[in-house]
A and B are shown apart, each in its own frame.
Chain A
Amino acid sequence: MSITSVRATRALGIATLAAVAATVALGLWVTPPDVVQGDLVRLIYVHPPVAWVAYLAFAVTALASVLYLWPRTRSLAWDRLAGASAEIGVVFTALTLVTGSIWGRPAWGVWWTWDARLTTTALLLVLYLGYLALRRVGGELETRAKRSAIAALVAVVDVPIVHLSVVWWRTLHQSATVLTPSLQPTVHGSMAWTMLLGFCAFTLVYAWLLVHRYRLETLEERLETEGLSLALAERRAEAAEGVLVSPDDADVVIDEPVASR
């Protein structure tokens, strides 16, 4: 039985759909437009949660990479998890940049500005695009796993350095609204609840995508490692069934089923 057909996974899928639908309904119809920003404020139900998922995904990648590199917990499962999570992280980082840009154009008057937060996020995207490119190179699974785990850790070490260095530069992006240093949210009422719901919904989306991406990765690996042996076993079974094969014309007979498919 695969993890995607387990009842818990189905429940996760249903919960995800429900949460996203509720966020859409609350975000588009129930919550009021903002006094200053009007309908533009509705993006805060999407943009911060999407950014959060991107961070979460890269944190999971880093953690899984550490667990792969640590001899006691070494397992290719961690490598699969790291790869799957990084892929989702890249998608969500791109979404963060896009939704931020959509918000920035009317609010700041520009699509893009070289602000600390934006620059760091853009760099995060490029760093992990490189990581994904490295994963695509192929080769033996263990080699690839070790190589990409080290690359993931090198990348994740770079993020705080860049973040600090660009924070000293100049800053335009607003500071945190919900997780303020004094833990006193500056968002109120239905908007705050919708935002919280948005965070839950997108986290669920992440979990759901991760489960499915992980399974796909497992299947691909099995195809790669067992595909040939399965095919060989099939051939042998066919050969054993009837046709008596003499060593000389073995190729001809064995090739036939391939041609007829």
Chain B
Amino acid sequence: MWRDALLVAGKDLRVELRSRVATNQVAPFALVVLVLFAFALDPSRGVLTRATAGLFWVAVLLCSLLAVQRSFAMEAADSARDGLRLSGLDPAGIFLGKAAAVVVQLLVLEALLAAGIVVLYGSHLHGALLLLGSTSTATVGLAAAGTVYGVLAAGLRVRETLLPLLLLPVVAPVLLGATRAWEAALSGTPADGNAWLQLLGVFAVIYVTVGVIAFGPLLEDG
């Protein structure tokens, strides 16, 4: 299973590296979102600095939609999906691989966004350990839930509109938990964030499990 996961993740990341969609479109999109928040909220930085955690995670959520969409658009072309089914790879491995590829892309994007909020919003990144911990846990949860819904919506004509409607409410706990953990870290009281870190962990475990179980049947359906 793990070998299959590595294979699929490697394939997805190689496709991403070669097509440069992530670097040329998703990353600039993330920056556009950050700048738009600045337009919408406050030119004098006060509100932006206070709302940093929430804005960061909303931006991540929007980008994760694009990443998931992209991850399954790749499989839609040239009946790659049938190839995937015929390849004899373990469905659980395919799920873990695709989710891992999304995690890697999102982590890169989050590093970029973090640099963006420091420069644009003037926030200071305190509590690095909690920031790193909550971000990576939240990203795993986000990618797992996203991959489940990605394959669910993949075969459908209306997937572009259906995916946000299905995915965004389900990942609401990630937004909530990650924002609170970040607020705790940024305000210099990392101890407050531990409960939220646990919530993020629970979410990630549940959705990775759901994905491992449900991915096979959902892939067959296509």
Contacts and interface: CB of A to CB of B under 8 A. Distances in A.
A150 B199 contact: no
Contacts of A143: 221
Q: Is chain A's binding surface mostly helix, strand, loop or mixed?
A: helix
Interface in A74-128: 123, 126-127
| Range, interface on chain B | 20 to 34
A161 B210 contact: no
A155 to B, nearest CB: 7
A137 interface: yes
Interface stretch (B4-12, B48-56, B166-174): B166-174
Nearest to A143: B221
A130 B165 contact: yes
Contact of A123 (B156, B172, B203): B172
A207 B195 CA distance: 41
Given A127-B170, A154-B170, A147 B152 contact: yes
Interface stretch (A22-30, A163-171, A212-220, A251-259): A163-171
B218 interface: yes
A97 B15 CA distance: 46
A133 B165 contact: yes
Contacts of A123: 169, 172
A157 interface: yes
A151 interface: yes
A155 B170 contact: yes
A209 interface: no
B166 A165 contact: no
Interface in B177-198: 177, 195-196
Given A123-B172, A146-B217, A154-B210, A129 B165 contact: yes
Contacts of B221: 143, 146-147
Contacts of B210: 153-154, 157
A162 interface: yes
B91 to A, nearest CB: 13
B217 A150 contact: yes
Contacts of A151: 149, 152, 166
A168 B196 CA distance: 10
Interface string B146-158: 0011001101111
B176 A165 contact: yes
A133 B155 CA distance: 15
B202 interface: yes
A40 interface: no
Given A143-B221, A155-B169, 7 more contacts: A129-B165, A133-B165, A137-B157, A146-B217, A154-B149, A158-B169, A162-B176
Interface of A: 123, 126-127, 129-131, 133-134, 137, 139, 143, 146-147, 150-151, 153-155, 157-158, 161-162, 164-166, 168-169
24 contacts: A126-B165, A130-B162, A130-B165, A131-B166, A133-B162, A133-B165, A137-B156, A146-B218, A146-B221, A151-B152, A151-B166, A154-B145, A154-B149, A154-B210, A155-B170, A157-B206, A157-B210, A158-B170, A158-B172, A161-B199, A162-B176, A165-B177, A165-B196, A165-B199
